[in-house]
Amino acid sequence: MSYHLPPLPWLRAFEAAARRGSFAAAASELGLTSAAVSYQMRSLEQMLGYPLFERLPRGLRLTDLGKAYLVPVRQAFSELSIATLSIFGPEGETTLNIRVPVSFAVLWLTPRLSGFARAHPGIRLRLFSAIWADALPADKTDVDIRFGHGNWPGSAAQLLVNDPIVLVTAPNSPIGSVRDIDSAGMIQIMGVESDWLHLFEAAGMALPKGGAGITVDTSLAALEIVASGHGAALVLSRFAAAFEASGRVRRVPGIELPHDQSHYLLTPQDFEAPRAEALLFSDWLARELAQEAKSESPLKKPAPAENGDISRRRQRRTHDK
């Protein structure tokens, strides 16, 4: 088979120049001279028949065709890196630094890490929860998982998963609907104080007076309190699934609230190209989430609630800590 492709060094120079914003920076990264990178880019543009960059007084700017071409070029390099590392492994042991919200780490990611570790024994993983985010500078983070609206300056955000909020309580709790909840039984998670208000509004009821009975700073802590037999909490369905599977909590039927925040995978835009190990882990993470999405829902389908199904009546916000 004959492939109509430019020389690989030209494509490497194109990706580096696009990412770094200058021929000089790309040359420094690739161990070439600025003149050599500039020559390769002129040759590539002549071969393609279209300009890929606008040469500015200070730096470069991709043309529309350059932006379009950059996407498949980066994807091709990523796939080559992943395939090479998957088949041949890393050169000796290497360490991958992963920053991840604590609830996502404990309730979803860590139970699945053994599969990655078995498949790639030469890659050591170091997980830093968001609580210890300051202990890991941005330039030392290989894989960065965040929860929010997808806007982090200096980083490109790739959507990983969006989960709804569900109401959970202890298995033997008498709570069967929103009307059974009073203020003393509400477990509040810091940063999302409006969660309960939105739930009661969706049920057509007023929020109980007095405020939440207990306030915590993570979904993990809220679930532990509920599992001990106290009150109810609003948490991401993915987090509730881990406790529900072990029988420690149950989902109150008919309650599911959407929100406008999601888990994202962040890629720095102004640093070196991602490490091959980071690409490999990110690809594994995306496949794990995709396979789970194709299988049966992590939580059982809710039965109709006594006060009517209020699932997805309102767009809202939540968090992941």
Query: Can you tell me the distance from the alpha carbon of 107 to that of 118, in angstroms, rounded to the nearest whole number?
Result: 20
CA angle 109/114/115 to nearest 5° reads 95
Q: Is the pLDDT of residue 198 over 50?
A: yes
The rounded distance, in Å, linking the Cα atoms of 6 and 257 is 50
Residue 272 DSSP class: S
Q: What pLDDT is attached to residue 317?
A: 38
Q: What is the pLDDT of residue 270?
A: 62
Q: What is the pLDDT of residues 233-288, one digit of tens each?
A: 999 999 999 899 999 999 999 999 887 788 999 877 665 677 889 999 999 999 99
Domains and their CATH numbers in the chain: 8-87 (1.10.10.10), 92-321 (3.40.190.290)
Among 46-55, 169-178, 184-193, 270-279, name the one with the lowest average pLDDT.
270-279
pLDDT given at position 66: 94
Q: What is the pLDDT of residue 298?
A: 45
Helix or strand or coil: residue 274? coil
Average pLDDT, whole number, for the chain?
84
CA R_g for the chain = 24
Tell me the range of 45-59, 123-137, 292-306 where mean pLDDT is highest.
Answer: 45-59
Interacting residues of 256 by C-beta distance below 8 A, sequence separation 6+: 164, 165, 166, 237, 302, 310, 311, 312
Q: What percent of the chain has pLDDT over 70?
A: 87
The pair of three-digit structure tokens given for residue 239, joined into one six-digit string: 């987090």
**Can you tell me the distance from the alpha carbon of 27 to that of 84, in angstroms, rounded to the nearest whole number?**
24
Q: How confident is the model at residue 156 (pLDDT cuts 50, 70, 90)?
A: confident
Strands 143-148 and 155-161: unpaired
**Mean pLDDT confidence for 186-199:** 86
Handedness of CA 16, 17, 19, 21 (dihedral sign): positive
What's the pLDDT at 294?
Answer: 79
Residue 207 is classified by DSSP as P
| Per-residue pLDDT, 244 | 95
pLDDT of residue 269: 67
